Structure 1
């Protein structure tokens, strides 16, 4: 195995652990509720606490990697994650479990951006589409399989084994990191930690996640105003601080790279919006059309099959065609699938299957292309900071999509006349289709389709 393959393998294992930890506990919520006497709101924070820890620590990852060396940060994050997994497995109360989930997120938040920076730095730009295809395969398979595994453990053993089972995975990743990753060295001259920037970024991200969580819940829109206002003020303060600071924690100047900026916008408007579409569709199909949970869940099968096809196309087509035609095609097909779901055709099984297949193909075409293109123009020395920006946006995208479409649905449903509830769902889906089209002006400014590696025109 080549050195670059070893680096990629460690990153992919860490990425799989992170994804599994996000989704594996979903099927165990009833068991958690019974044993720990948890409320529905507390159960929601089993996932949210992990995501909160994951997101707020990401800005610190690049600085720590320069300060301590990338391998040390990866090993330390895995040890912290393993410790928190053990704590979650023996948690005596829902409060203790939420605390350990937060610590798990702190470990995972250091693991992913540092590992991603190492992996993409190890591959030449023209070879990154191949790496991205493997990353996207992991991103598809793990969320699809982990809830089923969690359900089996909860039914036949205990929900505690869900978290205990993370220990051998973290141990294996730690051992491979020590054996395969270059030792690396700390930077000889490193600016001091940007403490004001860290405080502002943590406050902004924590308040934003908390506000988005409230906004997506029924009756929680008015409660979200205060934390979202705090997030806006703190975020604005960080932007002003970063412009003046000699060495900001995250240099927002990286957003001047057109392909990185394009990838971030795509993630917000395509996979991010789809997270909200998935929520609205589940409620629409079960509440308005009378499908069972099993029938609704089965629609992710054509979605996944079409996604695999899209990933294979990007792997072969991106080096030859560039980003622009892939983005245009992906956005068009994804938007068509969302619109199809909003029409009466969705009342028929064939129409629903076609809609989900189109959404899977279009969204994965965009996501794989954006992941392949985003780091093309980023200098190797800045890869850590670019990865931090990418991963913060990736986490927030899914929350924003759910919050926007969940809030729209909560607003529209009470205003529908009796017997016209499906109209509210369809209106939300049409809103989602419009949001998916927002990146088109930026896509149109990319270089011609067959330019090498889809590099953007000078601006």
Structure 2
């Protein structure tokens, strides 16, 4: 078994654990509410606390890896994640549950950037399309299967089983990290921590996530606006501090690579828009009389189409180039979203076709963007680039969803009859926005044929 295979296998296991914890808990919310006496907003923070932990610790990945080394950092991260899962499963109050989920997020936030940087560093550029296909297969299967597994565990046991399920694979990953990962050499130069940048960035991201949570509810929307303004001010302060820092917590200078900044924008506006669309579509289909089971089953054709898209990307991206695949992907997803307002009460096949288009288009874009993001980074830039990529990834999962939820809420008051259609057509338009950028960039900036030495 080669070292490259071990590194990739460990990263995929850590990635799976992260995805399981992002998607499995939703089905357990009703049981949590009954057992712990939690409100809807408190339940939302069961997921938000995990996301907040992820977002706050990812900027520390580069500094911690220099101070501790990647093997030790992975072991500490996996131990914290697994301990958080165990303690969360035993929580007796909603406050305790939220706190332990935050600890889980702090551990999980380091698994992805460190593991991803290791995997890409040890994978030759010519083989990265195939590795990305395997990563995207995990990103496809886990979100599709985790809610089903969670529903079974809640029915057969309790909501605690949903959180406890992460403990055995977490312990297995910890053992593998300790035995498989080499103690690689660390940079000898001084690498001081940008404390001001860390505090401002953490506070800004925290305020942003709080504002997104508040903005989704009409009653708390004014407070959400205040939090959003405060987040903007703090993040502007962070930008100024980061520009002056010798070693900023996030190396924004890497955005000089057109491939990385383009990939980040695509991930924000294509997979990110799908997450928001899924929320709006679920509400619309429920209004039309579709059962929860019928709505959940629409992810099956989505997953099948996504699998086809990942296979297509793997085999043709180096021949036709990222620009062509990204264009077709955006067009397919946009068409799928735009068709949702026309789905009727007894048209499950039409609804499934819309999800096929979204799965095909979204995965063409996400798998191509994943390849493109790391294509121009040197081995020394991999970890810093991975931190940027994963901060963007986490925010993508909630930012556009919050915007679309706010738009739907406002339109439901002023234009109730057309609220769902207008919101979905806005989502369709957002999906197409990156196309304006990718066709303005010089072809060489998105080429997969040149690599850093």
TM-score (ref. length: structure 1): 0.95
Residue 389 (structure 1) shift: 0.5
Q: Do the aligned partners of 1:324 and 1:449 also contact (CA within 8 Å) in 2?
A: no
Q: 1:257 to 1:267 in 2, by over 3 A?
A: same
273-282 or 160-169, larger mean C-alpha shift: 160-169
Pair 1:424-2:407 in alignment:
no
Give me the whole-angstrom Cα distance separating, in 1, the residues matched to 2:410 and 2:449. Answer: 41
Pair 1:445-2:444 in alignment:
no
Give me the whole-angstrom Cα distance separating, in 2, the residues matched to 1:169 and 1:206. Answer: 29
Give me the whole-angstrom Cα distance separating, in 1, the residues matched to 2:14 and 2:48. Answer: 20
Q: Do the aligned partners of 2:259 and 2:375 also contact (CA within 8 Å) in 1?
A: yes
Q: 1:451 to 1:239 in 2, by over 3 A?
A: closer
Correspondence for 1:183:
183
Q: Do the aligned partners of 1:67 and 1:187 also contact (CA within 8 Å) in 2?
A: no
Equivalent runs, 1:349-368 vs 2, <5 Å: 349-368=348-367
Residue 349 (structure 1) shift: 2.6
Equivalent runs, 1:56-71 vs 2, <5 Å: 56-71=56-71
Q: Do the aligned partners of 1:29 and 1:43 also contact (CA within 8 Å) in 2?
A: yes
SS at match of 2:318: helix
Aligned residues: 451
Q: Do the aligned partners of 1:324 and 1:446 also contact (CA within 8 Å) in 2?
A: no
Pair 1:434-2:433 in alignment:
no
Equivalent runs, 1:290-439 vs 2, <5 Å: 290-343=289-342, 348-416=347-415, 420=417, 423-439=418-434
Q: Do the aligned partners of 1:341 and 1:429 also contact (CA within 8 Å) in 2?
A: yes
SS at match of 2:127: helix
TM-score (ref. length: structure 2): 0.96
Residue 333 (structure 1) shift: 0.9
SS at match of 1:123: coil
Residue 405 (structure 1) shift: 0.5
Q: 1:371 to 1:30 in 2, by over 3 A?
A: same
Q: Do the aligned partners of 1:271 and 1:363 also contact (CA within 8 Å) in 2?
A: yes
Give me the whole-angstrom Cα distance separating, in 2, the residues matched to 1:282 and 1:290. Answer: 11
Deviation string 1:200-225 (CA, Å, 9 cap, x unpaired) is 11011101111111112343322211
Deviation string 1:243-275 (CA, Å, 9 cap, x unpaired) is 111111112111111010011100111011111
Q: Do the aligned partners of 1:193 and 1:249 also contact (CA within 8 Å) in 2?
A: yes
Give me the whole-angstrom Cα distance separating, in 1, the residues matched to 2:365 and 2:449. Answer: 14
Unaligned runs of 5+ in 2: none
Q: Do the aligned partners of 1:373 and 1:454 also contact (CA within 8 Å) in 2?
A: no
Q: Do the aligned partners of 2:289 and 2:345 also contact (CA within 8 Å) in 1?
A: no
Residue 350 (structure 1) shift: 2.7
SS at match of 2:376: coil
Give me the whole-angstrom Cα distance separating, in 2, the residues matched to 1:380 and 1:299. Answer: 40
Give me the whole-angstrom Cα distance separating, in 2, the residues matched to 1:412 and 1:344. Answer: 20
Give me the whole-angstrom Cα distance separating, in 1, the residues matched to 2:23 and 2:282. Answer: 17
Correspondence for 2:131:
131
Correspondence for 2:192:
192
SS at match of 2:185: coil
Deviation string 1:291-324 (CA, Å, 9 cap, x unpaired) is 1111111111111110000000011111222211
278-287 or 160-169, larger mean C-alpha shift: 160-169
SS at match of 1:342: helix
Unaligned runs of 5+ in 1: none
Equivalent runs, 1:145-184 vs 2, <5 Å: 145-184=145-184
270-279 or 211-220, larger mean C-alpha shift: 211-220
Correspondence for 1:286:
286
78-87 or 162-171, larger mean C-alpha shift: 162-171
Q: Do the aligned partners of 2:259 and 2:446 also contact (CA within 8 Å) in 1?
A: no
Residue 82 (structure 1) shift: 1.4
Task: Output the aligned Cα RMSD.
Answer: 1.8
Q: Do the aligned partners of 2:258 and 2:445 also contact (CA within 8 Å) in 1?
A: no
Give me the whole-angstrom Cα distance separating, in 2, the residues matched to 1:309 and 1:219. Answer: 43
Q: 1:368 to 1:131 in 2, by over 3 A?
A: same
Correspondence for 2:48:
48
232-241 or 156-165, larger mean C-alpha shift: 156-165
Residue 164 (structure 1) shift: 2.4
Deviation string 1:55-101 (CA, Å, 9 cap, x unpaired) is 11100011101111111110110011111112112111111111000
Correspondence for 1:93:
93
Deviation string 1:94-152 (CA, Å, 9 cap, x unpaired) is 11111000000000001111111111111111211111111111111111111222222
